[in-house]
Amino acid sequence: MLVAIDGPVGAGKSTVARAVAARLGFTYLDTGAMYRCVALAAIQDEAADRKRTLDELRIDFEGDRVLLGSSDSTDAIRTPEVSQRASVVATDPAVREHLVERQRGLTQRGDWVAEGRDIGTVVRPDAELKIYLTASDEERAGRRAAQTGRSVEEELADLRERDERDRTREASPLRRADDAVEVDTTGVPFAEVVERIARLAEETRAKAVDA
């Protein structure tokens, strides 16, 4: 079974998806981290005056750690510089095609909670449960500011710029799948959000068994 969680930056997809996966005993896939790794690799390559192909990039997950090659890049991919570059990298059709194929391959077997921008619309439109996670601009900016140490105003400006780029890009634009359940996390306790999605997943699986 696949639970696909999509939504804009700062909606809480990563933390919610990780917690839902733990609650259900599913495997968690952070697809955004894969784009961030490509962005980090591009920044590293520019600094070293080299260029690696997508096939040469090895991206792995070990628990909560994200590895680029043999290096633990968990913290490096969360910097503002990489975040901005990842949003640009994600508009490249070649990058998206490559990573989408990787993501499809990973989630074809077993039980997964995968989060990103286009899991339910492009990567796996056949996902058994699709969630569109969102929140107000101000709340999303506040969450990002708490993570990065920047001001809410700075994060709000960046967030709106990234939202516009994500929604208008030609390759897999951000949008809610027609059959997705929208979950607005504005002012909602974290545990309540996690429990709601977990119950939806359990209900979906039960219906499939009965059918």
Domains within the chain, CATH numbers bracketed: 2-205 (3.40.50.300)
pLDDT at 61: 83
Contact 92, 171 (CB under 8 A): yes
pLDDT at 202: 96
Q: Residue 162 — very low, low, confident or very high, per pLDDT cuts 50/70/90?
A: confident
Please state whether 101 falls in left (phi above 0), alpha (psi between -120 and 50) or beta.
Answer: alpha
With a cut of 80, say whether residue 82 has pLDDT above it.
yes
Q: What is the pLDDT of residue 190?
A: 95
The mean pLDDT of 178-206, rounded to a whole number, is 96
Calculate the CA 55 to chain-centre distance: 21
Number of C-beta neighbours around residue 3 at 10 A: 28
Q: Which two tokens stand for residue 77?
A: 């991919």
Confidence (pTM): 0.81
Q: What is the pLDDT of residue 211?
A: 65
**Mean pLDDT, the chain, whole residue set:** 92
At residue 142, the pLDDT reads 93
